[in-house]
Chain A
Amino acid sequence: MSSTETPATPVDHELSWPDPCEIAGTVRLVAPDGSRLSEDAVALSGHAVYAAAAARTTPDELRAMYRDMVLVRAFDREATSLQRQGELGLWPECRGQEAAQIGSAHALRPRDHVFPSYREHGVAHVRGLDLREILHLFRGTEHGGWDPTAHGFHIYTLVIGSHTLHATGYAMGIQRDGDVGTGTDRDRAVVAYFGDGATAQGDVNEALVFAATTNAPVVFFCQNNHWAISAPTTVQTTVPLVERGAGFGVPSIRVDGNDVVAVKAVTEAALERARSGGGPTFIEAVTYRMGAHTTSDDPTRYRERAEEDAWSQRDPIERLGALLRAEGLVDDAFFAGIDADATELTAGVRAYCRSLTPPPAESMFDHVYAAQHTLVDEERAWYGQYASSFEQAAAGS
């Protein structure tokens, strides 16, 4: 019977903040202080293959990823302040998740296809989307905001987990087209991004079933940022999320999501497997949502300041910055140049956001159907007359 005497909840929600990436089996190549892990240490954890891949990452690429991370964070900060000024209805920050997003996106090829949820601003940027296009949705002027085919980057999906099935279906299409396993540039793959909370949804579990049984070329990229609004990951699972995949027959791997070098290496391997016909992979990228869930959220109601502080010590941007400096790959001018670019970007974002006006009201009748629909026509005509009656009244008075 229900009562307050009932023994404690099955899941222990007690919070503690050891580094979750220090557990065995988690791929980490760069430590939080920016130093590369020794070959021996990486080999010991069985991840030598990723270290080898990471060693091939060129200084240019490292610098490019750093630049992307800084620009996206600046954009994110600007969008948050635009929301505070009433210019956006809502903003979901991706702060803290830049390495997970930018590292994985750098592993993609142009012909690959991405199905994001609603926080993947970093992935959007790497895919070549003009970040300003994301503002349309959150300013309430459009439901989408960009062409999903132009950059191989689908529109955001707000219904948690739905798009993981779309990603799987898209991957099944690629497979049917014969764009898998040819060993040429023709080969393609799909990535679905979703959160730890989403893993509880039926759709996500069904996506894993379909992907496994069809051997679809899809990578399930789960950003475990520790929170689904106010729910810690323990509300969704009693085992590390990475352990879920095996039961579905989907090989799975856990990566330090704040180590951009490791994320890129792991995602590259998963994508290569998918493109070559090896089937789906589940990646758990362990990261942290440093900001609020969205600008409507108040994290002080459910999480401890000490936890946020612990994670601020594992900031993904600082980690890569430290590595670049330690390895002598950058100079002061590099950082100054990026700062200047960030300032220019945010000024542009601010101006663009303010310039976005509501579409004409009649546009609500557009694109409901591909072909004529008499009811929509009738309602559009009625609305047009109704709206113009006010103009006539105003003109007459």
Chain B
Amino acid sequence: MTTTHTAADAAPTDAAATTAATVPAETKQRLPLARAINAGLRRALATDDHVMLMGEDIGRLGGVFRVTDGLQAEFGTQRVVDSPLAESGILGTAIGLAMAGYRPVVEIQFDGFVFPAFDQITTQLAKLRYRTGGRLEMPVVIRIPYGGSIGAIEHHSESPEALFAHTAGLRIVTPATAADGYTMIQQAIASPDPVIFLEPKSRYWDKGEVDLREGATELGPDGWRSLHVARTVRAGSDLTIAAYGPTVATALAAAQVAEQEGRDVEVIDLRSVSPIDFDTLTESVMRTGHLVVVHEAPVFFGSGAEIAARITERCFHALEAPVLRVGGFHTPYPASSIEAEYLPSLDRVLDAVDRSLAY
């Protein structure tokens, strides 16, 4: 079995042998999120022959967002496969390929187009391990560009995480930064369970520093599992904002504005929607007594509802205000010319911060 060698192969994979201080400067690069995920995919393809990518237009075109750019040229058409235009087919065959020992990483072109595959994901992929008493492993990653604010037409701006989070058997994660994009995609691929990997498309072009030396063998302190650990982006003592994916940057901006008003806001990037790192969140809310959850998905039956319920159970006596949620309304995603009013904007987050602290 041969594998095409890549630039990534040249980098040392035994990261533990090199301390941070001695990391050569060139392994750290400022990359947009889309390029960082691309680098993570390249690394995974180069490291494990069983990893394969499948999806619409991901080959020669490199995907409509160019996240798989150059990967077919590098790894060939058997490992980076342009699939027929059929999402149920993509997911159904990914399940079969996983049964045959492969690690399919599939791309759904846009959030609104995952639904033809909803049956395969929720009734088959999520349950096969359970139904076979653990005899089958389903290491399938479903990459979905999601969320709004790119001025797109309908079905191109949705946030379907809650629909999947309601289904046991699926892991659901979403990177907010380029560094996380690079690491988390590799961790998702290393996961023995199916992972829905939601990519915040409005942040695809946001740049951040990525350490390209960190490869599949060094996936964080707890291997692929740290995929589900929340990250405190900004420490604070007055109020906690929990965000993920596209809303992390909004939450940070809100914290900065609040600071000018003398409020010390903590921002937590959950990174994972299933499971949710309630330990990190609980510790924070125990200190601040205030929690605002921000996501683009509709608030009704959204992940914020689950967080509010659990945090109320865990922190009831520490809470100084009800947990507030900022997110989409109970309407279909509106036409793009008014999407800014639907989305959890900086102003709406600040409004919730005010309401919580004034409680």
Contacts and interface: CB of A to CB of B under 8 A. Distances in A.
B234 interface: no
Contact of A89 (B50, B79, B151): B151
B165 interface: no
B153 A158 contact: yes
Given A159-B112, A386-B348, A3 B84 contact: no
Contacts, number: 144
Contacts of A229: 56-57, 61, 64
A143 interface: yes
A389 B354 CA distance: 13
A390 B348 CA distance: 11
B84 A235 contact: yes
Given A302-B61, A364-B341, A2 B78 contact: yes
A8 to B, nearest CB: 8
A122 to B, nearest CB: 20
A383 B340 CA distance: 13
Interface stretch (A179-187, A196-204, A263-271, A274-282): A196-204
Contacts of A138: 153
Contacts of B338: 358-361, 363-364
A101 B123 CA distance: 40
Interface residues of B, number: 53
Nearest to A379: B329
A137 interface: yes
Contact of B337 (A2, A90, A358, A368): A358
A301 B72 CA distance: 13
Given A359-B335, A364-B329, A364-B342, A386 B61 contact: no
Interface in A103-143: 137-143
B106 to A, nearest CB: 15
Given A9-B77, A89-B151, A143-B335, A201 B116 contact: yes
Interface string B308-351: 00000000000000000000011110111111011000011001
A6 B2 CA distance: 10
A384 B84 CA distance: 46
Interface centre among B102, B331, B332, B335 (most CB of A within 10 A): B335
A200 B86 contact: yes
A3 B62 CA distance: 20
Given A4-B75, A296-B64, A140 B49 contact: no
Interface of A: 1-6, 9, 89-90, 137-143, 158-160, 197-198, 200-203, 228-231, 235-236, 296-297, 301-302, 358-361, 363-365, 368, 373, 375-376, 379, 383, 386-387, 389-390
Given A2-B50, A361-B338, A364-B335, 19 more contacts: A3-B1, A4-B4, A139-B337, A158-B112, A158-B155, A159-B113, A159-B116, A197-B84, A201-B86, A201-B116, A228-B85, A230-B59, A230-B61, A231-B82, A235-B85, A364-B329, A364-B331, A364-B341, A390-B347
28 contacts: A1-B1, A3-B3, A3-B78, A4-B3, A4-B4, A9-B77, A90-B152, A90-B153, A140-B337, A143-B332, A158-B112, A159-B115, A200-B85, A228-B85, A229-B56, A229-B64, A230-B57, A230-B61, A231-B57, A231-B85, A235-B82, A358-B337, A359-B335, A363-B338, A364-B334, A368-B331, A376-B329, A390-B347
